[in-house]
Structure 1
């Protein structure tokens, strides 16, 4: 639901309605003399409410969910690892999200351009499915965009609790430069015992410092 809200609220009418230039089957499907400038919320003359930015977000969500099959809903709730995200897999299973975990890169020493090209190709696969729902690409950018060659690397979160470096804006900038929208960081949790897993992802023992992670997200 959160993903649908995010996507629908930011949907931009840029792709052009695929109806022909002489037929209008719904008042919302606005046909003009130039097919290339037609509204993007029509497909083959059919009005698609979920693509109409004029409609309320809740109405668009209901419309989209009503069109989705069970397989499409399962696919949209699924995130797979980059190495498994083949074009046929993205299309066949309606995958909603792809992840680059630690060390998962498209090529050794991949540049930002290489990352952008990979993400764009996967996005094309997602958009070519029946409903054209875009996928979300996520990455483990836990102390800077650490998967990307020559990105700025900062201390792990446990070190940031001491140094209090302002890495949020810098990391966001470098993640978006690779075409990625979603970073698996920060971990908003209080360190209790050193024996617990993922100690390095936490700011420390002091509650005040942990609260600073909300500013990081902003």
Structure 2
């Protein structure tokens, strides 16, 4: 069977020797389409689906031929592949203008990648990045709970809703506590940080937080 797949974020960049993928003949340059009929949109979804002990893995070869590999494995066995895009998706950027943001304070003329501000729960889980929970849709929050993205690292700064809006410069910043309550009810572990800014979130506000 031959299909035309537009999403190239799932291209395999590495196959580990003697892995399941290697034994099946999956190769660098092949494209992962789905696992058990579910399209793969990001690395969290991939890892979640990978935990099943029976998999039907749909792969498009470089000649556009599509194969479905049936795999029986232990729940914690990995396929042994990596992707050209480590999170299989575009990282979610931060639209905030925090009063303390070091990226906004960088001088001009440096390499472009230094100016990218991420606010992505997947990178929080995978790399330890901190997120504000302000640049997330309802679907993003539901996915944290659905896929058990835990622990998640959260930039709290203050639990005063109006002060948090002022510090982060985002009208949704005051919703922090209600989102954290939902995550706590789902038993998602949260690691929290405070960037302490004199005159903003110190003294009584720090005690409150």
The reply to whether TM is greater than 0.5 is no
Query: Which structure's residues are more often strand, by fraction?
Result: 2
Query: Which structure's residues are more often helix, by fraction?
Result: 1
TM-score of the pair, normalised by structure 1: 0.25
Query: 1 or 2 for the larger relative contact order (CA 8 Å, sep ≥6)?
Result: 2
TM-score of the pair, normalised by structure 2: 0.26
